Amino acid sequence: MKKHILIDNPTVSNVVFYPRKTAIPNNLGPNIEILRFTIKDGVTIGGFFYKNNVNLPTILLFHGNGEVALDYRNIAPMFYKCDVNLAVVDFRGYGFSSGDPYYSSLISDAMPIYKAFTEWMKEQNFLDSLFIQGRSLGSICAAEIGAHNPSNLRGIIFESGFASAYNMMVNLFRVSSPHLTPKSLNKYSNDTRVKNFTMSTLIIHGTMDWIIPVSEAQLLYNNLPNDISKKLVLIDNAGHNNILSFEEEYFTPLSAFIKLNK
């Protein structure tokens, strides 16, 4: 995707992104695999595969801002209860990924990462049952992949994600410019992409999320086609960064979604 003159400006990127570099630990253990994919422009994307069982479905998760794939080392067992494997990949400049992040790179990198990961799964003889999950900023990647409707994808999950790129830039990151309008950001926006979805979609959001308000989840849901299976789960009193602590309310609908669509 062509760079946007404003939202991909380095000054804006410094406001939007909070990249954190991490080294690969020496003591990962037998159930954690290192992911390393070279995609466009020679950029290397890193991540980790948290293995539960090769015969179970897999979630490929794009994490939130300020997070890295290694953070999910202690979170993965919570996902295992849903009978899935969990793969988490970093953005450019995060973890041990190379390059520098900018907004449209989240969009342009999404499908190359997806294709590289599905090839890796095939080589490793994992079950051909894959879901995509986008948390917060990672919802951009999930929306892009979902808009392509890859035939081997079983479903899309948005967690604490946003709908409008304009709302995010203006309300969350306080970016202002006369050239920044909803129309100018339309093609960069999740609510535009989800209109093209043809597969089952689950949206999970906390009602007390003051970073990405619950109205964004409702907007995402409303822009999904009415002829697909779609569900909006709002978790009472959950915020943006403590939503996983509402374990039953979060993982019960997630588990049901996986089971129904695997």
d(CA 248, CA 31): 25
Residue 178 has pLDDT above 90, yes or no: no
The DSSP element (H or E) to which 79 belongs, if any, is helix 76-80
Cβ contacts of 183 within 8 Å, gap of 6 or more: none
CATH number for the domain that contains residue 138: 3.40.50.1820
With CA atoms as reference, report the closest residue to 191 among 228, 222, 233.
222
Does residue 231 form part of some domain? no
Cβ contacts of 243 within 8 Å, gap of 6 or more: 159, 160, 204, 206, 209, 235, 250
Does residue 101 form part of some domain? yes
Q: 216 to each of 167, 207, 228, 229, how far by Cα in Å?
A: 9, 11, 19, 19
d(CA 93, CA 69): 12
With CA atoms as reference, report the closest residue to 100 among 88, 91, 109.
91
Q: What is the predicted pLDDT for the residue at 161?
A: 97
Does residue 112 form part of some domain? yes
Sheet of 153-159: strand order equals: 32-38, 44-50, 85-89, 58-62, 130-135, 153-159, 201-206, 230-235
Does residue 30 form part of some domain? yes
Task: Give mean pLDDT, residues 119-145.
Answer: 97
- Whether the CB-CB separation of 16 and 106 falls below 8 Å is answered with no
The Cβ of residue 242 has, within 10 Å, a number of other Cβ atoms equal to: 12
Please report which confidence band the pLDDT of residue 184 belongs to, taking 50, 70 and 90 as the band edges: confident
Which residues span the domain enclosing 89?
10-157+170-193+251-261
State the pTM of this model: 0.96
Does residue 207 form part of some domain? no
Q: What is the predicted pLDDT for the residue at 172?
A: 87
Coil, strand, or helix at residue 151? coil
Cβ contacts of 123 within 8 Å, gap of 6 or more: none
Structure tokens at 227: 């002829």
User: Please, is 66 exposed, middle or buried when counting C-beta atoms within 10 Å of its C-beta (0-12, 13-18, 19+)?
Assistant: middle
Q: What is the predicted pLDDT for the residue at 176?
A: 82
Mean of per-residue pLDDT scores for the chain: 95
Does residue 232 form part of some domain? no
- Whether the CB-CB separation of 47 and 95 falls below 8 Å is answered with yes
Please report which confidence band the pLDDT of residue 123 belongs to, taking 50, 70 and 90 as the band edges: very high
Does residue 205 form part of some domain? no
d(CA 51, CA 56): 9
Residue 1 has pLDDT above 80, yes or no: no
Does residue 219 form part of some domain? no
User: Please, is 179 exposed, middle or buried when counting C-beta atoms within 10 Å of its C-beta (0-12, 13-18, 19+)?
Assistant: exposed
Q: What is the predicted pLDDT for the residue at 9?
A: 86
Residue 245 has pLDDT above 90, yes or no: yes
Count of the separate structural domains present in the chain: 1
pLDDT in tens, 36-74: 999 988 899 999 999 999 999 999 999 999 899 999 999
Task: Give mean pLDDT, residues 232-254.
Answer: 98
Residue 15 has pLDDT above 90, yes or no: no
With CA atoms as reference, report the closest residue to 140 among 112, 167, 174, 104.
104
Q: In 124-226, where does DSSP find H-type helix?
A: 139-148, 165-167, 190-193, 214-223
d(CA 127, CA 92): 28
